[in-house]
Amino acid sequence: MSSNNLLFRYLTFSICLFYLTACGDIKNDLLPSDSDLRESVESGTIGHRPSQISAEFQVTSSEGDLFTLSSYLENGDTPTDAIVLYFTMWCPICLGHSDHMFNTVMPQFRDRGDITFVLVDHISGSIALTRASEIASGYSDSEFITLADTEHTLLNQFHASNGTTVVISATGEILLNEDYRTGKNLIKVLDDLLAQ
């Protein structure tokens, strides 16, 4: 057998072995499923899924104020119709989403109801850095409240990741918990809520 063939076989075997060991759970993408695999949840129980009730939380804003969920609910000090949480790490896609929310979604609700839009910074690790990112991204004087989720309180509570959008009604019910996508679902949820 020539040295070329030996080299070829050795390399092929080694490479196949390496990649076979690297193959994890890739069938989700190779064979995408359209089955709805969400587990059913009991409405009104405490949890992170739509139809469940959000647990109470307290997180500090970029300006050092304490943001307490119950304050914004129907019996709170500053009640609103809904709270929208958007989880950001200030990346290109995140800024695309938050810009879309700011320019397209928020104007539709300025004169209808009272919606509190919140950016949840889950990446910066300090209030000062959250404030710096908020300013750098052009949101310092906007209607957004920016929270520094330094302990990942909200990230864990809502099983969120970058781009997750959560809507909580005045009763504390979670109406939406999914990736931002196009903003269409967010608008529909808020429209439906205000139409009630």
Partner 1 sequence: MHEQQRGWRQIKLAIIAATLLSPTSLHAASCCGGGSSSSLMLPKTATAMIDLSINQEIYNGFWEADGTRAEYQQGSDLKQFRLNTGFAYRLADNWQTSIVMPYTWNRNKYSGIERNTHGLGDTSISLLYEAFDDITCVWKVRKLSDLKPSIYWGASLILPTGTSPYDNVPDDFDITGRGFYRVDGTLHVEKTIYPFTAAVTFSHGVHIKRSVNREKSNYVEPYNKQLGNRTSITTAASYTYFMESLDTLTATLSYNYLTEGKSTIDGVKDSASGFKKNSISTALAWSDSDNQWILKLSWSHTIDRDNWGENFPITDVFTTGVSYVFQ
180 binds partner 1 (CB under 8 A): yes
Name which of 189, 158, 193 is nearest 81 in CA terms.
193
| DSSP code for 101 | I
- Candidate list 41, 60, 70, 89; residue touching partner 1; CB under 8 A: 89
Q: How far is the CB of 43 from partner 1 (least distance, A)?
A: 16
150 binds partner 1 (CB under 8 A): yes
Length of the chain: 196
Phi, psi at residue 107, to the nearest 5°?
Answer: -60, -30
Q: Measured from the CB atom, is 110 or 188 closer to partner 1?
A: 188
CA 135 to chain centre: 20
Q: Measured from the CB atom, is 39 or 42 closer to partner 1?
A: 39
154 near 85, Cβ under 8 Å? yes
- Burial (0-12, 13-18, 19+ Cβ within 10 Å), 122: buried
Q: Specify the stretch interacting with partner 1 by CB under 8 A; choose among 60-68, 78-86, 108-116, 156-164.
A: 156-164
- Footprint of partner 1 (CB under 8 A): 4, 7-8, 11-12, 15, 18-19, 22-26, 28-30, 32-39, 89-93, 95-97, 99-100, 104, 122-126, 129, 132-133, 136-137, 150, 159, 161-162, 164, 177-184
